[in-house]
Amino acid sequence: MATVVFAKEFQKNLNVDGSLKPRAWDLLTKLSTDQDLTGLDLKMPKGARDSRVRTARVTDNHRAVLFAAGTADDKYYVLVAIRPHDDAYEFAAKATMRANPANGVFEVLHDQELPELLTFEESRVSTPDRPLLVPYRAEELEAIGILPELARRAVLLTDEGELTDLCIAAPEWQATALLDLACDVSLDVVKEQYGRDSSGPGTSVIPADFDDPTQLRESLSRSASRMEFVVVEGDEHLRRMLDGDFMAWRTFLHPDQRQLVERPRKGSFRVTGGAGTGKTVVAMHRAVVLATRNPEARILLTTYTKNLANQLKSDLRGLAEQSVLQRIDVSGVDQLARTIVARAGGARTRIMQDQDQLRLWHRAVEDTPDLAAGDDGWCTPHFLKAEYEQVILGMEIRSANAYLDEKRRGRPRLTRVQKTRLWRVVEKFRELLSGQEKTTYLDIAVQAVGIARSSGLPVLNRYDHVIVDEGQDLAAAHWRLLRAVVPAGLDDLFICEDAHQRLYGDRLVISRYGIETRGRSQRLTLNYRTTRQVLGYATRLLAGVDYIDLADEDDSTEFYRSLLVGPEPITHASQTWQEEKNFIVETVRRWLDEHQNQSPGAFAVLVHQVDLRDKLVRELRSAGVPAAVLEPDGTVEASGVQVATMHRAKGTEFARCVVAGVSEDMLPPRWRLAEVDEEQREEIIARDRNLLYVACTRPRDQLVITWTGRRSMLLPPG
């Protein structure tokens, strides 16, 4: 038997041409059994720089590039790429593999020549533009392992884009390390981060001899090596990697991600990070690691919406075997509450949706006698709904007296007399609600908290570890529930959140519900989804606005970065809806024509309102463009361009997106602002800003924004 190692590049090549997969399977099984390799036609290219490099036959037209290392008894094959025949030979001749002499990271160097496209002028160092990597000198970068030529050039650059271009051919860890330094991460932190071995800080012994399998394994196990290379652990692992799509996230984690996934935590822990920084990926891997580490453990992976939970469930399938997966419950948090109540024999009551609840609050005010004229401030349905959810359910208030004593932190001031009257409205609301034989999700959550806390419960209601994705959207009652289902202790709650994407619930601080994470959190800043151009635009939407996370700390977008490059976002103003619609149709049609290798489902049009969504689907279809509504609970249907509300787009991603209807009247909707007070106005604007940020961070490659008339006040100028 031999050990097979995959490079990320190899995986990418297979993704581009799916027909290669079955042939790659043959190649890989032959290599791993290391028997009868004659059919593979292993050859060393002429003039090879590295005597261990070979090319192997995959099809008549394609060859794999690989290295053979180790000993006869303990052989390693490192698969680096699959290329058309001549390219493969050319690529292989120039490729070398090594352990980086500074930190032992496994590297394949393809071609030392750096891209010509750089307009590279040493004189620019003396221009007022500050080079990105000031104060570092090339020698300091070399000392942490950056290739000398790369280091020499990198220290002169003043533009992040040029830095990314410069790094295209470099080992991935070197590219991200340079980008980190450009974003003011200190040299010491970078050195530590990319110098770690899999179990902790880097060891002082640098592996060098790849004929010695121990040293090769040692180099491959470094966490920066695992950004680009994976040692295949047996047949089942290989099959999972080859089944379905080759998704890089399943295999190649950034050292920061790996550390978050693997390191045990003394108690609850929080991961913050902008859209696309891999929070969900970390959450899923962590669930699998915890379940694998302790075969007795039961794990809950939860999030706010049902469709996100469904997505998690389906993505998890590619990450672990059934025996592990069956101990990971994946559920929307409201679904969890319903399940707990149902298991305890509670009746299945129908749920009243938010808009209907607002109407019912209105009625409750009307039906409560003797409210004073001066009660206008708190008698609005929005105020009452928020008070009910945040204070009465959130703080588990069960009586008028308890409500009078409650401090209501973070809520507008009310006098004792006002509180007494408000409590009467709450009682009326409850009476009306149960009169309709309905309840709210948060009422069920509170009921479930009581059940989960009580002793003698079915063991099914208890978890050893709880992992939360999209934590910013959960309400107080949800946090109480999660606290109740997992005992405080090692690795109890692991929470991913992004305050900039809060669309539901209210801003809150989870320590009030018994979940303490202060001093135990980490921010992810490297964006894996979207290009630098799209990220830059989306981040500008949030400029000048303060965001506070679940531990009541600042959540900034500073230093968000991406190594991906693409076209600048396009903004397009129209005079009439007809014009805007035509522009959208033509844009989408062009995408379909130009990217025929992608399914129509890779493109999306995102809008604020449901009626606009439906109108656009009709317009696209009548113009002959295949289009499908992305339904609230549906999966992406690949045969049509996806048309979705921005809310529904949460947690999804597409190759290209048009974000449409971003006009002054529509985002935020002028009519809504007209009917609310100043405080609610600010809340609506804040939520719609987040919503626009969510929408603009969905595309991987291209973002187009359109509007009719004046642009929305939420768009950045220019």
Ligand X SMILES: Nc1ncnc2c1ncn2[C@@H]1O[C@H](COP(=O)(O)OP(=O)(O)OP(=O)(O)O)[C@@H](O)[C@H]1O
Residues that bind ligand X (CB under 6 A): 248-249, 252-254, 257, 273, 275-281, 498, 501, 528-529, 651, 653, 697
> Distance (Å, rounded) from C-alpha 43 to C-alpha 167?
30
Cβ within 8 Å of residue 363, ≥6 positions away: 432
- Known binding residue 145? Answer is no
Long-range contacts of 196-203, Cβ-Cβ distance < 8 Å, separation of 24 or more:
196/222, 196/223, 196/224, 196/255, 196/259, 197/104, 197/221, 197/222, 197/223, 198/222, 198/223, 198/226, 198/258, 202/103, 202/104, 203/104
Closest residue by Cα to residue 190 from 203, 208, 178, 206: 178
Distance of closest approach, residue 249 Cβ to ligand X, in angstroms: 3
In angstroms, what is the minimal distance from the CB of 62 to ligand X? 24
Whether a cis peptide bond, with omega within 30° of 0, leads into 668 is yes
Is 277 a known ligand-binding residue? Answer: yes
CB of 698 to ligand X, least distance (A): 8
User: Nearest approach, Cβ of 191 to ligand X (angstroms)?
Assistant: 21
Q: Select 382 or 507, whichever has its Cβ closest to ligand X.
A: 507
Smallest gap, in angstroms, from Cβ of residue 209 to ligand X?
Answer: 29
Q: Which of residues 275 and 330 has its CB atom nearest to ligand X in the complex?
A: 275
- Which of 528, 559 has the CB closer to ligand X? 528
Q: Which residues is 54 bridged to in the sheet?
A: 66
3-state secondary structure of 338: helix
CB-wise, 298 or 529, nearer to ligand X? Answer: 529
Least spacing, CB of residue 646 vs ligand X, in Å: 13
Cβ 658 vs Cβ 583: under 8 Å? no
Q: How far is the CB of 374 from ligand X (least distance, A)?
A: 43
For ligand X, the closer of residues 286 and 478 by Cβ is: 286
Residue 176 φ/ψ, nearest 5 degrees: -70, -35
Min separation Cβ 501 and ligand X, Å: 6
Query: Is 373 known as a binding-site position?
Result: no
Q: Looking at beta carbons only, is 120 or 504 nearer to ligand X?
A: 504
For residue 285, how many C-alpha atoms fall within 13 Å in the half-sphere facing its CB? 20
Going by the DSSP 8-state scheme, the letter that residue 597 receives in this structure is: T
- For 3, the 3-state DSSP assignment is strand
Question: How would you class 443 by CB atoms within 10 Å of its CB: exposed for 0-12, middle for 13-18, buried for 19 or more?
Answer: buried
276 labelled as ligand-binding?
yes
Name residue 328's beta-bridge partners: 299
Cis peptide upstream of residue 135 (ω within 30 degrees of 0): yes
C-beta of 319 vs 625, nearer to ligand X: 319
Rounded-to-integer distance, Cα 491 and Cα 125, Å:
48
16, two tokens: 């581009």
DSSP H or E run through 335: helix 333-343
Q: How far apart (Å, rounded) are the C-alpha atoms in residues 426 and 402?
A: 14
C-alpha span between 490 and 167 (Å, rounded): 40
- Smallest gap from Cβ 263 to ligand X, in A, equals 16
Specify the residue, 89 or 246, whose C-beta has the smaller distance to ligand X. 246
Nearest approach, Cβ of residue 278 and ligand X (Å): 3
Is 571 flagged in the annotation as binding? Answer: no
Q: Is 274 annotated as ligand-binding? A: yes
CB of 524 to ligand X, least distance (A): 7
Closest C-alpha among 611, 573, 609 to residue 717: 573
User: Nearer Cβ to ligand X, position 502 or 529?
Assistant: 529
Establish whether 273 is an annotated binding residue. Answer: yes
- Which has the closest alpha carbon to 424: 394, 442, 404? 404
Q: CB 650 → ligand X: shortest distance, Å?
A: 7
Residue with Cβ nearer ligand X (44 or 185) = 185
Longest C-alpha distance within the chain, in Å? 95
* Closer to ligand X by Cβ: residue 529 or 648: 529
Does an H or E element contain 271, and which?
A: strand 269-273
Phi/psi at 55 (5° precision): -115, 150
Shorter beta-carbon distance to ligand X: residue 7 or 452:
7
3-state DSSP call for residue 412? coil
Check residue 663 and give left, alpha or beta (phi > 0: left; psi -120 to 50: alpha): beta
Task: List the structure tokens of 387.
Answer: 């008070």
CB 365 → ligand X: shortest distance, Å?
38
Residue of 82, 246, 252, 125 lying closest to 176 (CA atoms): 252
**Gap between the Cα atoms of 163 and 156, Å rounded:** 10
Which parts are annotated binding residues? 273-280
Binding site as annotated, residues for ATP? 273-280
